[in-house]
Amino acid sequence: MMNVKYGSWVTMVFCFCLVMGCQTERGKHTESEIALLEAVWNGDQQTAASLLDKGVNVNARDTYQATSLLYSAHRRNEPIMRLLLEHQADVNAADNRHVTALMEAVAKDCLGCVNLLLEYHADVRARDINQNTALIFAAGVAGPDMVTLLLESGAEIDSHNHIGMTALMQAARSGKFETARRLLVHGANVNQRMGNGATALLLAEQHGHTAIVNLLKTFGAIDFREQEKMIPLWTVP
């Protein structure tokens, strides 16, 4: 899995879970709750609105604990997302991988959806099952404006996931020059290290992103291999 971008992995697994969840949850929920989940998945705002006006539980979950709000984030459907939030959808509800609607909207690079979720006080510091934050996802798969928005909304710039990957490392690894630049301007630790000793500089070099290597050095990146024995490049994820 290490060769798959974090955001892409989230989207791929999420899509499978949603489809299977809708198919397997019948019998645990009322038909109306299933109808709401399916309406949101299919982008049927009229049906969703009608069901919500009748009092159907907006926070009903499928087998994988995903709510209709998560469905709307995956579908990049801002109007339906607003409808759900206006009917008291739990903005921070997470599925069984601890993925929230904010994380999913970031992974889908839906800036409008993210703005809306933040307006309803989505937790920008929430973590998924692998300790990824929305900012770490954004650094790898979204545009630089998404990263700026999250930072201005209180995202922790140097937080890391279960293997020690930070947003700056993710940007360096993924070749996101402008994202890396904005993170550095906002004060990201250019020399933070993963558990195996890897840094953003090492990741950028490994993946052939010369411009980012030069950028990192401009901001004071240190090549620790010149000072100590480091792991071989090919063992860095």
15, pLDDT greater than 80: no
pLDDT digits (tens, 9 = 90+) for 179-190: 999 999 999 999
Domain end marker among 107, 138, 156: 156
Here the CATH number for the domain that contains residue 170 is 1.25.40.20
Domains contained in the chain, number:
2
- Say yes or no: 39 and 72 in one domain: yes
Residue 165 or 236, more confident: 165
pLDDT digits (tens, 9 = 90+) for 106-156: 999 999 999 999 999 999 999 999 999 999 999 999 999 999 999 999 999
Instruction: Provide the total of helices (H) and of strands (E) in the chain, helices listed first.
Output: 13, 0
Beta-bridge partner residues of 67: 61
Q: What mean pLDDT, rounded, does the chain reach?
A: 88
Domain that holds residue 216: 163-237
Domain end marker among 119, 141, 156: 156
pLDDT digits (tens, 9 = 90+) for 40-61: 999 999 999 999 999 999 999 9
Burial class (CB in 10 A: 0-12, 13-18, 19+), 143: middle
Contacts of 55 (CB under 8 A, 6+ apart): none
Residue 30: the pLDDT is 84
Is the Cβ–Cβ distance between 134 and 126 less than 8 Å?
yes
- Say yes or no: 20 and 84 in one domain: yes
Residue 225: the pLDDT is 78
Is the Cβ–Cβ distance between 172 and 201 less than 8 Å?
yes
- Say yes or no: 49 and 126 in one domain: yes
- Say yes or no: 13 and 116 in one domain: yes
Domain end marker among 156, 184, 204: 156
- Say yes or no: 179 and 124 in one domain: no
Q: Which two tokens stand for residue 148?
A: 């700026």
This prediction's pTM: 0.84
- Say yes or no: 30 and 121 in one domain: yes
Torsion on CA atoms 37, 41, 43, 46, rounded to nearest 10: -10
Quick one: pLDDT band at residue 2, thresholds 50, 70, 90? very low
- Say yes or no: 221 and 170 in one domain: yes
- Say yes or no: 35 and 70 in one domain: yes
- Say yes or no: 225 and 185 in one domain: yes
- Say yes or no: 34 and 108 in one domain: yes
- Say yes or no: 64 and 141 in one domain: yes
- Say yes or no: 37 and 105 in one domain: yes
